Amino acid sequence: MRLLFVCVGNSCRSQMAQGLARSMGHTADSAGTHPNSATIAPYAQKYLHSRGINTDGMVPKSVDDFSAENYDMVISMGCGVNCPAMKIDEDWGLDDPFGQEYGVYKTTGEEIERRLKLLE
């Protein structure tokens, strides 16, 4: 399945979803409506590394660089993301772990993985 994960900053949830989806055999990308960093969040990287997922080359990107037509499904991670030029197929409504402790990232990652398994 070709998946695009969208959030605001593209530094936490959507990056974790991209990495997890790829590790499960999907083609996946992620983007943000307002990318807010040059790198993904350290705890997002730590979580992905704990799952054996390489984060080399994973950087925040803008939704303007993607087209929904290239994906089977576009999934918003939550926080009221509105992409006027892009349809959102599902909104997972996940709380943003940005700035919180590692345990919050781990819980978020586990929930993303649970939802990805439901797509298969």
pLDDT tens, per residue, the chain with 120 residues:
999 999 989 999 999 999 999 999 999 999 998 898 899 999 999 999 999 999 999 999 999 999 999 999 999 998 666 665 678 899 999 999 999 999 999 999 999 999 999 997
Q: Which pLDDT value is given to residue 34?
A: 87
Q: Which residue has the tokens 């197929």?
A: 89
Q: Which pLDDT value is given to residue 112?
A: 98
Residue 22 CB contacts under 8 Å (≥ 6 apart), including other chains: 28, 53
What's the CATH number where 87 sits? 3.40.50.2300
Domain tally for the chain?
1
Residue 71 in tokens: 């994906």
The whole domain housing 106 covers 2-119
Closest CA to 19 of 9, 28, 10: 28
